[in-house]
A and B are shown apart, each in its own frame.
Chain A
Amino acid sequence: MDTLNLARWQFGITTVYHYFFVPLTIGLAFIVAGFQTAWYRSKDERYLRLTKFFGKLLLINFAMGVATGIVQEFQFGMNWSAYSRFVGDIFGAPLAMEGLLAFFLESTFLGLWIFGWDKLSPRIHLATIWIAAFGTFLSAYFILAANSFMQHPVGYRINPVSGRAELTDIVAVLTNKVAIVTFPHTILAAFLTGGAFVLGIAVWQLVRHPDRDRSAFRSAAKAGAIVVVIAALGVAISGDRQAKVMTEVQPMKMAAAEALYGTKNNAGFSIFTVGTLQGDSEVYSLRIPGLLSYLGTGDLNGKVEGINNIQAAYEAKYGPGNYTPNIALTYWTFRLMIGIGMLAALGALWVLWAMRQGRMLSGRWWVRAAVVLPFTPLLGNSFGWIFTEMGRQPWIVFGLMPTSAGVSPGTGVATVLISLIGFTLIYGFLAVIEMKLLVKTIRAGLPDVPRAALVGGGDNDGSDGNGDGEPGANGGPAEGHSDGERQLAFAY
């Protein structure tokens, strides 16, 4: 394998792996903030325990997301230095903004949230988780704006002397129409992911331990299911909008998504195909007539360009070459994204139906469903990203730079191979550890909370220190900083 392929594999593996943790963190951060808000408002202990339980799971994921996120930022320079030189003037800006505006918010306020239970007033403490959650939004927007430039470059010019792309309009880059439609799709998919995670765990608890914290987990299951259903609806609507923009700016990707070789009006969407995807060698396919045309143009009879036409047009425009992405990969990932992603919505509706009017969930099937549920949107997300990145090929920046030209010219095969193997082994190892910790935490169920927290999160009741605590520590959280013997509310 050459450096190019190794670098591509490394990018793919790191991105897919990183993207298991990102949507889960975004979705969970908001759901945990929701539980904490419910507790803050109602003072119902259930919600506090749910906050702490899902908060713990959130943090395990966040740690992994941060750790792999650094690799994401560094690998542009390490493996893709020619790309970095070419687009740095444009691409670096949203990345730097993401760091300054979003990463600082997320990590600082999450740190305050984790360790601040006894140091901040309940109100401020609640605000910290919302700010951290908001930070994930900002982060998503900037990185999607950067990615959207690769899909649909805007707000730039090519410097005739240096040959580099230069920023001419930052507003155009940040309001790229691809970014505008991708952001809601991505965020809603993150909510879908977080919701399915909460739902799966709650259902598992309700079936496995029907007498343990039933009311709390019923609330969690309902909250998770409702988030999933609403998010799934939003994912579908935003995905439809996205498909139209994609058809307009990257027609080849849309054609590849359906393996549509000849241009067609009233183009159908095949649920699956038997046989190869090379144009006319299809054995059997189950088709919904007109759906592809509708996805692409908003009209059942709209014209969708086929691969052959677009290939010819690109050859005329960019010179001889193969401008067709890997069709089998784009075809199947597109379907799997939609299908597997939407499974979660069906699961959620099923749970809501089964739990109606206080009904109990029971039976082995529920356990299986509960285990499968959280994984469906995770896989859907992966397929979505694999589709959108592979569907852009052979370009690294659509229409401007082929992927093969973006790789670091001076980096040897051995070097990339070492880091590829190294990272992959580490990711695999950490995935095992992460699963082990998640399972352990999930099995343990809701944590207990000390009475101090129940009365409002502060330390205004001197009697619930550690028995011999300072009785005078009743001045509210703001004054609770003396070097007394009161234990920390949270410690690593």
Chain B
Amino acid sequence: MELTTLWFCLIAVLWIGYFVLEGFDFGVGILMPFLARNETERRVMINTIGPLWDGNEVWLLVAGGATFAAFPEWYATLFSGFYLPLFLILVSLIFRNVAFEFRGKQQDTTWRAWWDRAIFFGSLLPAVLWGVAFANIVRGVDIDAKKEYVGSFFDLLNPYAILGGLVTLSLFVTHGAVFISLKTTGEIRVRARAFAATSALAAAVIALAFLGWTYGQRRDAQHVVWFVVLAVLAAACLVAALVAIRAGREGWAFVGTAATIALAVAALFVSLFPDVMPSSLSPTFSLTTTNASSTHYTLKIMTWVAVAFTPLVLVYQGWTYHVFRQRIGTEHIPGPPSPSPSPSSPGQQPPVRVQDDPVTTDV
């Protein structure tokens, strides 16, 4: 296999990893106002992804870095062309990231409510915008002979792309609901399961419409047969996930939604190949795995690095999931972090050295 093809596949794998993993993080964030009824339940939801979300987000950084290294022209055109959507995604991720860390640091309902909003919108916007961005890549955008995007921000908000945004939104929400049902106990689990059973149906309808429309867009693609195969498999996995969640088999349902996302992203990449960013102005302007790539030497170096270190990353990240495999319920949530002498209550005694109550075990 050509190294450019290999790197096209590797970048597809990185985006698949990112969407499968951060997909449920986004889903959890979006579902927080709907599935949690009180502060403890909200904390249950946040803590299902607490130890994991940051490692999941690194998939995005590596996908970005790998695109820069292997296909600099793709990176340059994509990031400068999709400037404002990426700006919105960055703003969302900034707020969402600090929200996880900051929301519990103050015992104040208003404070928490604001960070909860940051988590909700910080999850919602990227969940939609990534779909919009990828749909536009597949559909083709106005790229000129100099490989520059010459369209406007509003060109990116076409109906097909918006449908793409709804696909990622509905898939991530379903994926997140299944994840919550898999990782929690008690009422939240029941609610999450019920929600997933409904949202999976909606996701299936939206995703099928989108994949059908994509077939229309990329009918002449080189590997359209494989696109159809993967798209059908993705749909089958979503149906399987739906059946599994209705049967109460949460683990299988999670495998199903993860596979759906993976196969759907794979289908989009296959429909692109050998283009990486088709131009809607002229096929000769399209960025391809060949004309957007780095040199053979750089790809060779990066291949060695990827071969040597990716398995290691998978092993220790997998181990993290193993370490934190325990289901969480409201009974596991410790009380508010260590009682700190607030400036508003002078004369308060310093905290006792050692308490029997582990609620204060906060890092």
A96:B302 contact, CB within 8 angstroms: yes
B295: which A residues are within 8 A, CB to CB? 89, 166-167
Docked CA distance A335–B58 (Å): 37
A167:B309 contact, CB within 8 angstroms: no
Q: Does A55 contact B (CB under 8 A)?
A: yes
B68: which A residues are within 8 A, CB to CB? 76-77, 84, 88, 91-92, 95-96
Closest residue of chain B to A110 (Cβ to Cβ) is: B54
Docked CA distance A90–B70 (Å): 10
B80:A119 contact, CB within 8 angstroms: no
Chain A, range 15-64, C-beta contacts under 8 Å to B: 45, 52, 55-56, 59-60, 62-64
A63:B102 contact, CB within 8 angstroms: yes
Name the distance in Å between B131's Cβ and chain A's nearest Cβ: 18
Chain B, range 80-100, C-beta contacts under 8 Å to A: 80-81, 83-84, 86-87, 90-91, 93-95, 97-98, 100
Name the distance in Å between A432's Cβ and chain B's nearest Cβ: 12
A112:B323 contact, CB within 8 angstroms: yes
B86:A78 contact, CB within 8 angstroms: yes
A437:B106 contact, CB within 8 angstroms: yes
Q: Does B363 contact A (CB under 8 A)?
A: yes
B334:A95 contact, CB within 8 angstroms: no
Kindly state the interface size class of chain B when it binds its partner: 35 or more
Q: Does B33 contact A (CB under 8 A)?
A: no
A63:B305 contact, CB within 8 angstroms: no
Docked CA distance A205–B78 (Å): 50
Complex interface: stretch among A313-321, A390-398, A484-492: A484-492
A85: which B residues are within 8 A, CB to CB? 72-73, 76, 147
Chain B, range 343-363, C-beta contacts under 8 Å to A: 343, 350-363
Complex interface: stretch among B155-163, B200-208, B310-318: B310-318
Count A-side interface residues using an 8 Å CB cutoff: 101
Closest residue of chain A to B69 (Cβ to Cβ) is: A92
A107:B358 contact, CB within 8 angstroms: no
Closest residue of chain B to A409 (Cβ to Cβ) is: B148
Docked CA distance A209–B350 (Å): 10
Q: Mark A60-81, 1 if CB is under 8 A from B, else 0.
A: 1011101111110110111101
Complex interface: stretch among A221-229, A375-383, A441-449: A441-449
A92:B72 contact, CB within 8 angstroms: yes
Among B66, B298, B351, B359, the most chain A Cβ lie within 10 Å of the Cβ of: B298
Closest residue of chain A to B326 (Cβ to Cβ) is: A481
Given contacts A55-B363, A93-B302, A440-B340, contact A448 B352 (CB under 8 A): yes
Closest residue of chain B to A97 (Cβ to Cβ) is: B305
A99:B61 contact, CB within 8 angstroms: yes
B80: which A residues are within 8 A, CB to CB? 77-79, 81, 408, 410-411
A430: which B residues are within 8 A, CB to CB? 94, 98
Closest residue of chain B to A58 (Cβ to Cβ) is: B363
A450:B357 contact, CB within 8 angstroms: yes
Q: Does B187 contact A (CB under 8 A)?
A: no
A444:B340 contact, CB within 8 angstroms: yes
Docked CA distance A448–B102 (Å): 20
A117: which B residues are within 8 A, CB to CB? 361, 363
B105:A60 contact, CB within 8 angstroms: yes
Q: Does A158 contact B (CB under 8 A)?
A: no
Docked CA distance A67–B297 (Å): 33
Docked CA distance A99–B148 (Å): 26
A56: which B residues are within 8 A, CB to CB? 362-363
B77:A437 contact, CB within 8 angstroms: no
**How many residue pairs bridge A and B at CB < 8 Å?**
315
A487: which B residues are within 8 A, CB to CB? 331-334, 358-359
Docked CA distance A116–B302 (Å): 33
A408: which B residues are within 8 A, CB to CB? 76, 80, 83
A454: which B residues are within 8 A, CB to CB? 354
Q: Does B238 contact A (CB under 8 A)?
A: no
Chain A, range 80-138, C-beta contacts under 8 Å to B: 81-82, 84-85, 87-93, 95-101, 103-105, 107-112, 114-117, 119-120
Q: Does A170 contact B (CB under 8 A)?
A: yes
Complex interface: stretch among B43-51, B191-199, B258-266: B43-51
A450:B361 contact, CB within 8 angstroms: yes
A82: which B residues are within 8 A, CB to CB? 76
A95: which B residues are within 8 A, CB to CB? 65, 68-69
Q: Does B283 contact A (CB under 8 A)?
A: no
Q: Does A415 contact B (CB under 8 A)?
A: yes
Docked CA distance A409–B145 (Å): 13
A283: which B residues are within 8 A, CB to CB? none
Q: Mark B320-341, 1 if CB is under 8 A from A, else 0.
A: 1001111111011110001011
Q: Does A419 contact B (CB under 8 A)?
A: yes
B55:A71 contact, CB within 8 angstroms: no
A99:B66 contact, CB within 8 angstroms: yes
Given contacts A84-B68, A91-B68, A166-B295, contact A450 B90 (CB under 8 A): no
Name the distance in Å between A393's Cβ and chain B's nearest Cβ: 22
B298:A81 contact, CB within 8 angstroms: no
Closest residue of chain B to A61 (Cβ to Cβ) is: B101
Complex interface: stretch among A188-196, A356-364, A460-468: A460-468
Q: Does B229 contact A (CB under 8 A)?
A: no
Docked CA distance A96–B306 (Å): 10
Docked CA distance A87–B294 (Å): 10
Docked CA distance A166–B72 (Å): 11
Name the distance in Å between B29's Cβ and chain A's nearest Cβ: 12
Name the distance in Å between A209's Cβ and chain B's nearest Cβ: 8
Docked CA distance A483–B326 (Å): 7
Query: Which B residues are closer than 8 A to A by beta carbons?
Result: 43, 46-47, 50-52, 54-55, 57-58, 60-62, 64-70, 72-73, 75-81, 83-84, 86-87, 90-91, 93-95, 97-98, 100-106, 146-150, 153, 185, 294-295, 297-298, 301-302, 305-306, 309-310, 313, 316-317, 320, 323-329, 331-334, 338, 340-341, 343, 350-363
8 residue pairs from A and B, CB less than 8 Å apart: A96-B305, A112-B323, A415-B83, A430-B98, A449-B361, A466-B357, A488-B328, A492-B50
Query: Besides the contacts A107-B57, A415-B153, A440-B106, what 12 more A-B pairs have beta carbons closer than 8 Å?
Result: A68-B94, A73-B64, A76-B79, A96-B68, A107-B54, A116-B51, A167-B295, A170-B298, A453-B361, A466-B358, A483-B327, A491-B47
Query: Which A residues are closer than 8 A to B by beta carbons?
Result: 45, 52, 55-56, 59-60, 62-64, 66-71, 73-74, 76-79, 81-82, 84-85, 87-93, 95-101, 103-105, 107-112, 114-117, 119-120, 166-168, 170, 209, 212, 408-411, 415, 418-419, 422-423, 426, 430, 433, 437, 440-441, 443-445, 447-454, 464-467, 481-483, 485-492
The 5 A-B residue pairs with the shortest CB-CB distance, nearest first, are A88-B72, A77-B79, A92-B69, A444-B340, A92-B68
